[in-house]
Amino acid sequence: MDRKTDRRTTYTINVIKDAFLELINETTYSQMTVTSLCKKAEITRSTFYLHFNNLTDVLDDILSDIFAFDNESNLVISDEDAVNIDMLKSNESLLPACQRVGNSSKYQQLLLDPALSEYIIGKIIKHERPRVVPSIQRQTGLSNADADVLFNYVIHGSFAINKRHKFVKDDEWYRELQLLNQFSLAGYKAIKKSTDLG
């Protein structure tokens, strides 16, 4: 009995999330309503409220799904790898988080919604901070707080570039990523040199 209920619940939750993603292709998040989502999912409002409190809960669940599939690599990346386009193309885990999130066309419109940009960036920051900030500290010798400043700058910048490309990885996007990686690495090296001297 429990297994059946779990399966039914999982199915309904997935129907709601799929309907949310379909609806975001037709309207903006700020114009979306629980009623319009229920209509798209072909469920009642009471069914919706059995599983979610509001639209933000649905969004958060979708973002959790995205990050659950965002398998991070323990691969140690050299300076040369970070600016090598072939290496970046063959190792998705080295790509900026916002690009990994945008790999699937089903999420691209969600990421392009202007009302959601800052919210999604905040979720990416929360997800990536534990891994990336210590890496910046190792490369620069900076304190956690200062490394966090650079981390926020990089995430916002990466998201902006990806948004400009509509989260499509074409040759021009890879060229720009290579340029940004060169810029970041040169900056990290310069900071490391100054902290070592200081």
Q: Strand, coil or helix: what is 126?
A: helix
Among 22, 45, 66, residue at a domain's last position: 66
In which domain, by residue range, is 173 found?
Answer: 72-197
Both ends of the chain: CA-CA distance in Å? 67
**Across all residues in the chain, what is the average pLDDT?**
84
Phi/psi for 150 (5° steps) reads -65, -40
pLDDT in tens, 112-152: 999 999 999 999 899 889 988 998 999 999 999 999 999 99
Residue 80 has pLDDT above 90, yes or no: no
134 shares a domain with 104: yes
91 shares a domain with 184: yes
Among 66, 84, 104, residue at a domain's last position: 66
192 shares a domain with 94: yes
Residue written as tokens 């891994």?
131
What global pTM score does this model have?
A: 0.81
CA dist 110 and 194 (Å) reads 41
115 shares a domain with 17: no
Residues with Cβ < 8 Å from 174, sequence gap 6 or more? 85, 88, 89
CA dist 99 and 30 (Å) reads 23
* Domain harbouring 46, CATH code: 1.10.357.10
